[in-house]
Amino acid sequence: MRKIRIDELKTGMVVARAIVDSDGRVLLYSGIQLNERYINKLRELGLNSVYIRDAFDHVQVNDVISDETRIQAIRVVKDNFQALENQHKLNIRAVKAMVDQIIDELLADLSVLVNLTDIRTFDDYTFAHSVNVSVLAIMTGITMGYNDLQLKELGVGAILHDLGKIRIDKSILSKTGELSKEEYEEVKRHPVYGFEILRQYQDVSLLSANVAFQHHERWDGSGYPRGLSGENILEYARIVAACDVYDALLADRPYRASYTVSQALTILKRMCGLFLDKRCVDALTSNIAVYPIGSVVQLSTGDVGVVVDVNKESPTRPVVRLVIDRYGSRMHNPQEVDLSKYTTVMVAKSLTEEEIQNLL
C-alpha cells in the first residue's frame, strides 16, 4: 500500500488503511472501493491523503504501536484538552497510563522502524500530532539509552507539549493565511501557558513540564520563549523539538501539502547545529525508514519495485520486490532483493505518483 494525495485519487482505487477520527470513529474502512462521492467526502473532512492498494503490491505495513493504542492515545489527549477547556482540570493518571502503554509496545520490538505517516483531519491535527511526537520522542529516548523513569517523564512531557494552545484563540490556530505580528506573538505564548498549567499538578514532574516550556527553544538561541541555547535547553525538550519539527513536516496543513519522508529527513539534517541538537536528530532519524514499506522505488539498475521490508542497520538499503524490469516490462515472477547484501546496487529514487501511474 502507499500514501497518495486526494487530488491523485481515482474512482475504483481501494482504501488500504482505515481512516479514523479522534473519537475513534471509522470514517472510511479498509477495503472500500472509492467513488466520486467518497472522494468528495474526504475533501470535506479536511483529508489530503489516503493509503491505497494497487497493482504493485499487497504489502502489509505495521505501525510501531497498535492501531488500538494510537486511537486510544489520541482520544486521551483530546479528552484532556476538552476537560481543561470546559472544567479546567486534567486527568494526569490517564495520560501516564497511556504513556506507559506506548512505552511497553515500543520496548516489545526494538527492531521496528517508523514506516507509516498517519492520516488526520485538520480538526484533529493537534491531538494526533501530540501522540506522534510522544511516540517518536520515546523511540528516540530508547535509542539514547534512557531508563524507564526517563522514558515516562519524556513521554508525558511530549504528549502534553502543546497543551498551552488551549489558551490561544482558535481562530488564530486555524488561520490559513499569514499571521499578523500580534497573532504570532500570541502563538509564541503557548509554551508559557503549557508550563503554567502543568506546574499546577504535583504528579507531573518539573522536567515534564519544562518540555512544554522549552520545546520551541533552538540550539543557536533563536527560539522562544527565553532564547535558551545549546545544552542550556533541557535534553528532553531538545528531543521533542526535533520530533515536533519532523512530524509537522509530514502533516498536510491548510496552508501547504505534506513533505515526503525523504524531504523531511533532509530538512532535519540541515537544521542540525543551528536549530536542533544533532545528537537528538541522529537518534530520532535512526528509527525512521528512509524508504518506507510500500514505497515504489527505482534501483540504480533501472529496475522498479516496491519496498517490502527495511533494515534498521542499513536504513537506505531496504528489501525490494522487483516488479518492472529496466526495459519497462512487467516481471512474471517478481523477485525480492535485499539491498544490504548487494553493495553495487542502490535505490536511485522514489517514484512520484505520476511516474507510478505511467508504469501501471
Mean pLDDT to the nearest integer, 148-153: 98
- Residue 254 has a pLDDT of 62
Q: Average pLDDT, stretch 135-148?
A: 97
Q: How far is CA 316 from CA 100, 184, 246, in A?
A: 31, 38, 18
Residues 28 and 71 in one domain: no
Phi-psi region of 2 (alpha: psi -120 to 50; beta: other; left: phi over 0): beta
Kindly provide the b/e burial profile for residues 48-84, where b requires at least 16 CB atoms within 10 angstroms of the residue's own CB. Answer: bbbbbbbebbebebebbbeeebbbbbbbbbbbbbeeb
Give yes or no: residues 10 and 122 share one domain: no
Residue 255 shares a structural domain with residue 349? no
Domain end position, chosen among 262, 285, 308:
285
User: What tens digit of pLDDT does each residue of 25-60 get?
Assistant: 788 888 899 999 998 888 887 777 888 887 665 667
User: Do residue 202 and residue 91 come from a single domain?
Assistant: yes
Here the cell at position 352 is 512520484
The reply to whether 83 falls in a domain is yes
Do residues 19 and 26 lie in contact, with contact meaning Cβ atoms separated by under 8 Å? yes
Q: Report pLDDT digits (tens) over 190-220.
A: 999 999 999 999 999 999 999 999 999 999 9
Same domain for 192 and 320, yes or no, is no
Nearest-angstrom CA–CA distance, 207 and 203: 11
Structure letter (DSSP) for residue 258: P
Query: Is residue 62 situated within a structural domain?
Result: no
Task: Tell me, yes or no, whether 6 and 141 share the same domain.
Answer: no
pLDDT, tens only, 1-23: 778 888 888 899 888 888 887 77
Tell me the three state secondary structure of residue 14: strand
Please list the helix, strand and coil fractions of the chain in percent, rounded to the nearest 5, in that order.
Answer: 45, 15, 40
| Res 356: pLDDT | 80
Specify whether 108 is located in the same domain as 29: no
**Residue 339, domain member (yes or no):** yes
Which residues form the domain of 224? 67-285
DSSP H helices in the chain: 36-44, 67-87, 92-108, 125-143, 148-159, 170-173, 181-187, 190-198, 206-214, 235-250, 261-271, 278-285, 353-359
Question: Which CATH number goes with the domain that contains 267?
Answer: 1.10.3210.10
Last residue of a domain, one of 285, 316, 340: 285
Instruction: Please write the tens of the pLDDT for every residue from 85-112.
Output: 988 899 999 999 999 999 999 999 888 8
> Do 266 and 314 fall into the same domain?
no
Q: Are residues 280 and 302 in the same domain?
A: no
Q: What is the CATH number of the domain that holds 28?
A: 3.90.105.10
Residue among 12, 8, 17 at smallest CA distance from 51: 17
**Considering the chain, what percentage of its residues have pLDDT values greater than 70?**
95
One domain for residues 138 and 269: yes
Structurally, the chain folds into a number of domains equal to 3
Residue 58 falls inside a structural domain: no
Structural domain contains residue 25: yes
Q: Cβ distance 96 to 60 under 8 Å?
A: no
Residue 290 in domain: no
Same domain, 121 and 260: yes
Q: Establish if 237 belongs to a structural domain.
A: yes
- Residue 201 included in any domain: yes
How far apart are alpha carbons 204 and 7 in whole angstroms? 44
Q: 112 and 248 in one domain? A: yes
Among 224, 253, 285, give the residue marking a domain's end.
285
pTM above 0.85, yes or no: yes
Judged on CB neighbours under 10 Å (0-12, 13-18, 19+), 86 is exposed
